A and B are shown apart, each in its own frame.
Chain A
Amino acid sequence: MNSANHNILQIKDLKKYFPIRKGFFQRVAAWVKAVDGVDLEIEEGKTLGLVGESGCGKSTVARMILKLLEPDEGNIIFRDQDISRFSEKDMKPIRKEIQIVFQDPYGSLNPRMTVGQSIEEGLRILGIPRGEKRRGRLEKLLKTVGMSPDSADRYPHEFSGGQRQRIGIARALSVEPSLVICDEPISALDVSIQAQILNLLKDLQDQLGLSYLFISHDLNVVGYLCNKVSVMYKGNIMEYAPTEKLYEHPFHPYTQTLLAAIPEPEPGRKQAAITMREDIPISAPPPPGCALQGRCPHEAPECRDEKMPFVKVGEDHFVRCWRVGQNGVARYEP
């Protein structure tokens, strides 16, 4: 990948392994490779989609970017600063820049604090003095996310899921971040509300020039919001491409399956179903080679050899699959 400095965030070879402890002495029996060498880059003011099934390590990546989890290996470069080894003290100025919107609108707001108090925590960090000025900022923030200013004195249990998600967004915006990580922000909402929140996120990006890392398992949503997409499977990035290219010419068998799984809006229209074999349980030590082996419909002997390299198949389009690089199956020539 090119490392031009218009990237707001760049992640190189990020790894996080969790130990499975067993027995009386709690010795480490095995490692779960939650994130196993992930590379991402997010351009300033753009949106990168991170797609994958549940348990593939998307949220772990998000938590490592926020330094809520310590990465085991790799670099997280935010605006030319490698924050991957930063201590809590070093992170202080960075914290304001990177914020997160959570999946669960019920768990993400403190039930014992009013909406205003929750959002004001951010304003306090910014150093805005208590009183008229802070109140003004608070009300403006609430209006920005489409909530009435008098919501500030209410408790979270008085709001619906979509409204809470708006409040969560307002809290993230309170410290004026430049990068917002959206960790499946709409998957817990009704379909009608989903569209509203998506539009809100899009409007905010236009108004405030935010960059997003948009984590989702829904390729449809990602197609609407994202400029580029990374497809993740079992801790590995399988394919990375601009959104249109990914939709038109998916290379990786896993991406193809995901795309085929999007429901057709037209009733009666047949879709070409691609079925995958049953997944092997994650607790078993993964075999070397491609993470998809055992499930891939086009498996070949070389898939078991070693970790796949990231193969360039077009401009800004990378795939981690032997077939693409070797026998040129479905090779795409722009």
Chain B
Amino acid sequence: MIEESASPPDYGLEQPLAPRRTRLEEFWLLFRQNRLAIMGLIIFILFFCIAFTGLLLTSGSDPVFDPSLVRLQEKLRAPFSKPHLETLRPNEIPTLGIYLLGTDDLGRDVFSRMLQGAWVSLTVGFVAVGISVIIGIFMGGIAGYFGQRHIRLDQVLVTCLLSAGAALVFFNQAKWGAVLLVLGHAYIFYLLLMRLIAVRKIPPKRFELLHLDTISIDTLIMRLVDIMLCFPSFFLILTVVALLPASIYNIMIVIGLTSWMGTTRFVRAEFLSLREQDFVAAARALGVDNFRIIFRHMMPNAIAPVLVSATIGIATAILTEAGLSFLGFGVPPPHATWGNILSDGKNFIFDAPWLTFVPGFSILVVVLAFNLFGEGLRDVLNPKLRERH
């Protein structure tokens, strides 16, 4: 059809009016005006570099900075003090020649420990937020796009059947559990089969009850969010961490699993408004499939508030990890984190204030930087807030 119409209409071809500028350039032009956000960004990059070099310099069998080297004769030295070289073996001499940030009660170099802890804070922040953002986008996307669909009674029953079966197997009742599991899966298989074969078959009257709508998917997910928000999350994390073996990965996962609710709400709200937009209707009219509409057409438009909440979420996760480590539930002791340096230092707060001030101040600066950067992002990405400065 199109091939035949090679001749364009009479009027000349139209050119775009606005200057050629990518979204990134546009973004940078606006972001540049927010000085605090720029400062946040610089500190963020600096923190990233420090954490990464810190990881390289403090790990391995013979690290450049050894954070766990104990020199009891050199305990509680002030920052910038020179080591007493005569009491130290050659491998115990600090790499920089001085104790840049002092030493702690075991004579370990605080600077090395801070370097090691920076990587912990960074990974906890990013991995935990990564987990929460992935869950949040998934749940929010489903609630926003498919939310109006209802869960049928038979689906609820099958879910109950399957979980009962799994529970029975778990509690050593394998025989009965297996029966329930097989029944559940058989029904799912039957439903799939019917969907593939039957073009449009009205279910028989006696099964009508099974096809009764219960609650909408939106209600289910959003009430789950409400329930999760009811828990005081820090204490929930404390409980979970107390039950699980202490490890940095468990902490990341637990923080991630307890902080996805905000992202879910943002994504759902964005999706609800995007769904009614004409360009989504146009994509549906073209025959684009749901998966592609969600991820190619809608998600890029919904990502801005997620990005903002993720940035601020990183700050919160760093704080949570520091809090956990401070209480002794965090990363196990030989490994340094800013939280446990702070915690160890609190006993010597009058004799050796640098032990509390150095990690405390670092946490403050990094969290503040992330928050400022996040607010700057929000100002730029949300045009409605732009003119307020």
Chain-B contact segment, one of A16-24, A148-156, A234-242, A314-322 = A148-156
Query: Per a CB cutoff under 8 Å, which of A87, A121, A147 touches B286?
Result: A121
Q: How far is the CA of A256 from the CA of B284 in the complex (A)?
A: 38
Q: Contact mask B195-228 → A, CB, 8 Å, 1/0? A: 0000010000000000000000000000000000
B235 CB-CB contact with A under 8 Å: no
Cβ-closest chain B residue relative to A171: B282
Query: Per a CB cutoff under 8 Å, which of A99, A110, A208, A209 touches B279?
Result: A110
Q: Is the CB of A144 within 8 A of B285?
A: no
Knowing A108-B282, A143-B8, A144-B8, say if A158 contacts B17 (CB, 8 Å).
yes
A299 CB-CB contact with B under 8 Å: no
Query: Per a CB cutoff under 8 Å, which of A96, A148, A173, A199 touches B13?
Result: A148
Query: Per a CB cutoff under 8 Å, which of B15, B23, B297 touches A148?
Result: B15
Find chain A residues with CB under 8 A from B2 CB: 137, 140-141, 144, 173, 176, 208
A274 CB-CB contact with B under 8 Å: no
Query: Per a CB cutoff under 8 Å, which of B16, B19, B285, B288 touches A99?
Result: B285
Q: Contact mask A77-113 → B, CB, 8 Å, 1/0? A: 0000000010100011001101110111001111111
Cβ-closest chain B residue relative to A168: B282
Q: Is the CB of A166 within 8 A of B14?
A: yes
Chain B, 249-294, CB within 8 A of any chain A CB:
277-279, 281-288
Knowing A144-B8, A147-B14, A207-B4, say if A68 contacts B281 (CB, 8 Å).
yes
**Nearest CB of B to A145, in Å:** 8
B9 CB-CB contact with A under 8 Å: yes
Chain A, 65-81, CB within 8 A of any chain B CB:
66, 68
Chain B, 295-353, CB within 8 A of any chain A CB:
296-297, 300-301
Cβ-closest chain B residue relative to A160: B17
A-B contact count (CB 8 A): 118
Cβ-closest chain A residue relative to B274: A110
B20 CB-CB contact with A under 8 Å: yes
Q: How far is the CA of A94 from the CA of B78 in the complex (A)?
A: 78
Cβ-closest chain B residue relative to A106: B278
Find chain A residues with CB under 8 A from B14 CB: 146-148, 151, 162-163, 166
Find chain B residues with CB under 8 A from A111 CB: 301
Cβ-closest chain A residue relative to B279: A110
B385 CB-CB contact with A under 8 Å: no
* 27 A–B pairs (Cβ distance < 8 Å), ordered by A: A66-B281, A66-B284, A68-B281, A95-B285, A95-B287, A99-B286, A100-B281, A100-B282, A102-B282, A104-B278, A107-B277, A112-B300, A122-B286, A125-B288, A140-B2, A157-B18, A158-B16, A159-B17, A160-B17, A162-B14, A163-B14, A173-B2, A175-B287, A176-B1, A196-B11, A199-B9, A203-B9
The 6 closest A-B pairs by CB, nearest first: A95-B287, A158-B18, A112-B300, A108-B278, A207-B5, A148-B13
Q: Is the CB of A146 within 8 A of B286?
A: no
Q: Is the CB of B285 within 8 A of A66?
A: yes
Q: Is the CB of A143 within 8 A of B282?
A: no
Q: How far is the CA of A118 from the CA of B292 in the complex (A)?
A: 13
Q: Is the CB of A102 within 8 A of B281?
A: yes
Q: Is the CB of A109 within 8 A of B288?
A: no
Q: How far is the CA of A200 from the CA of B14 in the complex (A)?
A: 13
Knowing A121-B283, A171-B282, A208-B1, say if A146 contacts B9 (CB, 8 Å).
yes
**Nearest CB of A to B7, in Å:** 8
Cβ-closest chain A residue relative to B23: A155
**Nearest CB of B to A204, in Å:** 8
Q: How far is the CA of A118 from the CA of B283 in the complex (A)?
A: 9
Knowing A175-B287, A207-B4, say if A107 contacts B200 (CB, 8 Å).
no
Query: Per a CB cutoff under 8 Å, which of B9, B15, B282, B287 touches A96?
Result: B287
Knowing A110-B279, A146-B9, say if A87 contacts B200 (CB, 8 Å).
yes
Cβ-closest chain B residue relative to A163: B14
Q: Is the CB of B4 within 8 A of A68?
A: no
Find chain B residues with CB under 8 A from A66 CB: 281, 284-285
Knowing A154-B20, A158-B17, A208-B1, say if A121 contacts B288 (CB, 8 Å).
yes
Q: How far is the CA of A151 from the CA of B17 in the complex (A)?
A: 10
**Nearest CB of B to A95, in Å:** 4
Find chain A residues with CB under 8 A from B15 CB: 148, 151
Chain B, 1-40, CB within 8 A of any chain A CB:
1-6, 8-9, 11-21, 23
Q: Contact mask A161-194 → B, CB, 8 Å, 1/0? A: 0110010100111111000000000000000000
